[in-house]
């Protein structure tokens, strides 16, 4: 990409929840139902969460979560199709 760094706008910063550390942010991300990623904000020097994970390396807990979901599906693929009697 040309034109240097893409800066986080202060509007987004103000709207978002702030975390003092990456660990605190990722703890919340691990609990969420959607894929979230922690990143350090240039403006407030704290951490925010983003759902934009495209092209980003997924955090460890997310890889584990996905792998387990895949394995569970493989182990019993008919579990979701089975109809109640």
Chain residues that interact with Zn ion, rule: CB under 5 A: 13, 41, 43-44
State which residue, 18 or 65, has the beta carbon closest to Zn ion. Answer: 18
In the bound complex, what is the minimum distance in angstroms from residue 43's beta carbon to Zn ion? 5
Which residue do the tokens 């407030």 mark? 44
Can you tell me the distance from the alpha carbon of 32 to that of 30, in angstroms, rounded to the nearest whole number? 6
Residue with tokens 């394995």: 71
The closest alpha carbon to 45, from 1, 10, 85, belongs to: 10
Give CA 39 to chain center in angstroms.
Answer: 10
Taking the complex as a whole, the smallest distance from the CB of residue 22 to Zn ion amounts, in Å, to 13
| CB closer to Zn ion, 24 vs 65 | 24
- Residue number with the smallest Cβ distance to Zn ion: 41
Residue 28 vs 65, nearer CB to Zn ion:
28
């Amino acid at each position: 990409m040309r034109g240097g760094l893409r800066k986080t706008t202060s509007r987004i910063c103000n709207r978002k929840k702030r975390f003092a550390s990456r660990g605190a942010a990722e703890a919340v991300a691990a609990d969420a139902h959607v894929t979230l990623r922690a990143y350090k904000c240039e403006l407030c020097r704290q951490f925010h969460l983003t759902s934009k994970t495209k092209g980003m390396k997924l955090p460890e807990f997310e890889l584990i979560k996905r792998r387990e979901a895949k394995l569970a599906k493989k182990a019993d693929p008919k579990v979701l199709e089975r109809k109640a009697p």
